[in-house]
Amino acid sequence: MGKCVHSAVINAPVDQVWQVLRNFHDLSWTKAIESLEPVGDGVDQRPRAHFSVSNH
């Protein structure tokens, strides 16, 4: 399986950032994801993200 890594500097207090990111399955904060769908069942369930491709 491939691996994707991305980093960014966020101009906000760390507590505020973690408040948004702590729910791993909620990716509504990013504009790059068009949709999410559940994959698997129970504790093995994870989101599959469909990304938009932009030439900005």
CB 35 within 8 A of CB 50: yes
Residue indicated by tokens 């791993």? 24
36 has a pLDDT exceeding 60:
yes
- pLDDT on residue 54: 65
Q: Which two tokens stand for residue 28?
A: 């509504």
Position 11 confidence tier, pLDDT thresholds 50, 70, 90: very high
Q: Which pTM was predicted? A: 0.44
Beta bridge partners of 37: 48
Q: How sure is the predictor about 14, in pLDDT bands with cuts at 50, 70 and 90?
A: very high
Amino acid of residue 9: V
Are 51 and 31 contacting, i.e. CB atoms less than 8 angstroms apart?
A: no
Q: Per-residue confidence at 40, pLDDT binned at 50, 70, 90?
A: confident
**Which letter does DSSP use for residue 34 in this model?**
E
Which ranges of 1-56 does DSSP label H, i.e. alpha helix? 14-21
